[in-house]
Structure 1
Amino acid sequence: MKKKSSKVYPIAIALLIVSIVLAGCGGKAKTESEQNNSGKIRLTIGHFDVDQNGKLFRDALEEFRKENPNVDLVEEAIPHDPYRVKMTTLGASGELPDLFVANGSMLIDYIPKGYAGTFNEALDADPAWRDSFLPNAFDEFINEGKIYGIPNAMFTVHMIYYNKDLFSQAGIQSFPTTWDGFNEAIIKLKDKGIIPIAMGNKSNVPVGSVIFGTLADRYTGTEWFRAMKKGEAKFTDESFINALKALQQMAQEGAFNPDINSIDGDQARSLYYNKQAAMLIDGAWAVNNLSTDAPEEVRNATGLAILPAVPGGKGDPLTVAGGSGWSLAYNSKLTGEKKETAIKLIKTLTGQEYNKKKIENNGQPPIKVTDYDQSKLSPLAIAYFDFMEDKNFSPIYDIQLSPALVEVIYKGLQDLLIGGTTPEELAQKIQKVRDTQK
């Protein structure tokens, strides 16, 4: 998917999303009369939020309450990683909230079970809303022509933020354009006592999502991924194993902080902020983190890059893993006023006014924002939008693959980083899980 406009920036910091309501998800479900004993329309909604866009989201919910006093909107925020686990667990019971955020992987699980409602009718009834979305924004949430999620972002999950001053101290004058040059830079930084790449992979998601998806595409090409989903390619193919070997090589030569599997993203960012690490590999959402939290000296020295081309790779070096990623969805059990109110809230959270505020907070909306104040964007956000102008998106593994497959890949990558498995063994283990899904 190509980003085109120089006036409208069409990408989106992801992590603005919705929380699971624990009270409504465990135990015996409440009856309709119990839910509405106040005379209001009761809706449960969940979200995780970790940055300024999280506040923006919560503020929007509060504004919706004020404008709709007949609605009892119940929310509870849960951090990103526990949210993923919780929603996977609820996929077994079907006790989902009335509204929820779902990525493509979750919808793969929910749709066959009939848990998620469709949006085709609501979108067609409001062409202005439907046509405001960027090209391909719905791709990850469509099944057999039916739309099950409304995207709330478009973003890349892979971006290398690097400190130009630390690179210069190590004798690296510009970001490497070849894989050999990238490995040489890692060695030079390490020799200077600088951590080459800061990463926090405690949850097992970050390395798989923000590095490996793009690295794998460098070797396999995007067509391989599409063929694999159809059962026409395998994880035991040489190109995929080569990607695993490349990641293992990075770990073996000391590319990452030694405690990569025991710290989280916030701790990894601290290594970069404190100039202990020369690079931070993270998603688009880190633009906002760096813009607000990084020391000015570090922020001003930060450059942007992506993984370079690899020897013999079949992938486009201008491609990065990305897309809509997450969507706002609703429980298929909703009918009547509850369904109408749920869709009304989702339209509020994906409309022009909300996304105008989002982009002005260094976020990246899934729609064409027609009027916003560019002066409110941070210099790093503007640099990011410019950088992404000529980039294409490749699939995000944890968005487009089933939860079971994602789990075996990402846990396996954790083991690979510390030498607990070989690339060949891991490839076979992943393919074994894939074979059970045919």
Structure 2
Amino acid sequence: MVELKKKNWTRLTFATVMATVMVVVAACGNQKDSGTENGGNQGNNASQETITLTMMHPWTSPNVDNEVYKARIASFEAEFPHIKIQQDGVAAAQYKTKLFTLATANNLADINVTWPGADLDPLVKGNLLMPLNDYMDNWNGLVLEDALVGYSADGNQLAIPTKRNFVDIIYYNKEYLSQVGYDEFPSTYEDFIDMIKKLKEAGITPISLGNKEKWPLQSSYMSIIGQRFAGADFFNKVMAGEAELTDPQFVKAIAVIEELTQLEAFNVDANNMDSVQAQDYLIQGKAAMHISSATVDGRIRTTNEEGDKFGIALFPSVPDGLGDPKMASGVSQFGISIKSGLDEKKQAAAIEFMKYFVSEELYTDLAKAGILVPANVEMGDDISPYLKEMYELTSHGSSPVFDAVINTQAAKEFENGLQAITVGRSTPEKVAQDAQALIER
């Protein structure tokens, strides 16, 4: 960028000065990487108009990936002081509801965190997201193509995913399982139930569950249990009208929640505890197992001095099951998208944010924190062995997550029904019927 010499400055008219400044601003805005220290960039942007972008995200819990995301936002604001990110952090359990409520009113934030598949459909139908096709050179070759697919529609790329998550990882206390005769995690459902009974007899809570937010049983449990019984393509068939949640194989899957409830496998306060508290139950030695996403490996093992106490496994094979017991249930998450219809200045600022935020640096920071990423990045020697183990466990293919395929209204009804089962107020058949009715409606 060429600096105007002082002697030439006095000869320029006011109009010429303003035109020159606008050219300089545009040149700076088009740079992919400023290549300067924060102080230098602040000097260049000091006289620029301040632009405020609103951003809604679900990064409110103390998970390690959430801290990485918020640190990246802070770094952007330091690098581009003329662009302010006004954050609206919404708890994960309420995030999608608020997102769709704002979408209905055409009042989305300027930048939004989105999910693929069924969750993206309403935003696509409303033309609420800006296509990113003209800017894909920033991510081609970096982001894995199969991770981008869920965020594209009608030939338009509408968001860029920032992490790859598997929702069904079983974290277990090695010592507790060994205490009841299981030096390895059971590979069959029969042995799994036997282990739960023995843990109960030993006075150990088998599974810590925090279902206050209702999504854990739906997402972390039924995504994979449904796959084990009904097959990897079952949820897609349901939405295509080729299968129903009331099919016998899937009702058998729901019955697993009923059986675990009857065996008192969960902590008694499961419906009054949130997902983070349930993680703490496992970490503190109050339960033998916890079923949650790959993301929480950061808390349970990577940043935990006693991380070696815990192993990871997938849900075992089930009798007459149609699914592959080696598969995990996964999805590319936290797609960053831009609201359509922004004015020229806000759109330019939002694109600048996208290029900076969704970058190789972000993916590398996430990987160092033990988070699976949908990108081609160098792992390096400093990558946690726990992360390598997680990659190996989840490297045998993935099946869909329930609420990434089943429409939101039906998924919420399903969550309510599963919680009702845990307090003896519903049955697998009724839960399936109620959710299926909303799909057909």
Common topology (TM > 0.5): yes
- One of 316, 325, 331 as aligned partner of 1:308: 316
8 Å contact 2:239–2:439 — kept in the other structure? Answer: no
- One of 45, 63, 72 as aligned partner of 2:84: 72
Shift of 1:249: 1.1
User: Structure 1: any 5+ residue segments left out of the alignment?
Assistant: 1-37
8 Å contact 1:222–1:315 — kept in the other structure? Answer: yes
| 1:324 aligned counterpart, secondary structure | strand
Tell me how far apart the structure 1 counterparts of residues 334 and 67 of structure 2 sit (CA, whole Å): 17
Q: What does 1:197-208 align with in structure 2 at a 5 Å threshold?
A: 197-208=207-218
1:333-354 per-residue CA deviation (whole Å, 9 max, x = no partner) reads 2242322321221222221122
- One of 89, 99, 110 as aligned partner of 1:87: 99
2:333 counterpart of 1:328: no
The aligned counterpart of 2:350 is: 342
8 Å contact 1:322–1:395 — kept in the other structure? Answer: yes
The aligned counterpart of 1:317 is: 325
1:161-217 per-residue CA deviation (whole Å, 9 max, x = no partner) reads 111111111222321111101110110101101011111000100111111100001
- One of 417, 424, 428 as aligned partner of 1:423: 428
Change (3 A) 1:429 1:91: same
2:391 counterpart of 1:381: no
Tell me how far apart the structure 2 counterparts of residues 196 and 157 of structure 1 sit (CA, whole Å): 19
Tell me how far apart the structure 1 counterparts of residues 74 and 305 of structure 2 sit (CA, whole Å): 32
Tell me how far apart the structure 1 counterparts of residues 351 and 159 of structure 2 sit (CA, whole Å): 11
Tell me how far apart the structure 1 counterparts of residues 408 and 155 of structure 2 sit (CA, whole Å): 22
- One of 364, 367, 374 as aligned partner of 2:375: 367
Tell me how far apart the structure 2 counterparts of residues 236 and 192 of structure 1 sit (CA, whole Å): 37
Shift of 1:282: 0.9
| 2:425 aligned counterpart, secondary structure | coil
8 Å contact 2:147–2:332 — kept in the other structure? Answer: yes
TM-score, normalization by structure 1? 0.85
The aligned counterpart of 1:403 is: 408
8 Å contact 1:140–1:399 — kept in the other structure? Answer: no
Taking CA–CA contacts closer than 8 Å with sequence separation of 6 or more, which of the two structures ends up with the larger relative contact order?
1
Q: What does 1:27-426 align with in structure 2 at a 5 Å threshold?
A: 39-49=49-59, 50=61, 51-104=63-116, 105-123=118-136, 126=137, 129-291=139-301, 294=304, 296=306, 299-369=307-377, 371-375=378-382, 377-389=383-395, 391-426=396-431
Q: Which stretches of structure 1, 4 residues or longer, exceed 4 Å deviation after superposition?
A: 292-295
Tell me how far apart the structure 1 counterparts of residues 81 and 173 of structure 2 sit (CA, whole Å): 49
Shift of 1:295: 5.4
| AA partner of residue 53 (structure 1) | D
| AA partner of residue 187 (structure 1) | K
Higher radius of gyration, 1 or 2: 2
* The 10-residue stretch of structure 1 (287-296 or 355-364) with the greater mean CA deviation from structure 2: 287-296
1:367-422 per-residue CA deviation (whole Å, 9 max, x = no partner) reads 110x34332x3342232223223x21111112223221211111111112222111
Tell me how far apart the structure 2 counterparts of residues 290 and 109 of structure 1 sit (CA, whole Å): 35
Tell me how far apart the structure 2 counterparts of residues 416 and 139 of structure 1 sit (CA, whole Å): 35
| 1:150 aligned counterpart, secondary structure | coil
| AA partner of residue 378 (structure 1) | S
> Cα RMSD (Å) of the superposition?
1.8
Tell me how far apart the structure 1 counterparts of residues 436 and 327 of structure 2 sit (CA, whole Å): 25
Tell me how far apart the structure 1 counterparts of residues 302 and 189 of structure 2 sit (CA, whole Å): 32
8 Å contact 1:273–1:295 — kept in the other structure? Answer: no
Tell me how far apart the structure 2 counterparts of residues 275 and 347 of structure 1 sit (CA, whole Å): 43
Change (3 A) 1:335 1:121: farther
Tell me how far apart the structure 2 counterparts of residues 157 and 335 of structure 1 sit (CA, whole Å): 38
8 Å contact 1:88–1:403 — kept in the other structure? Answer: no
Shift of 1:112: 1.1
1:100-149 per-residue CA deviation (whole Å, 9 max, x = no partner) reads 101134322221122122222321xx1x6222212410232222332222
Identity over aligned pairs, percent: 28
Tell me how far apart the structure 2 counterparts of residues 346 and 364 of structure 1 sit (CA, whole Å): 20
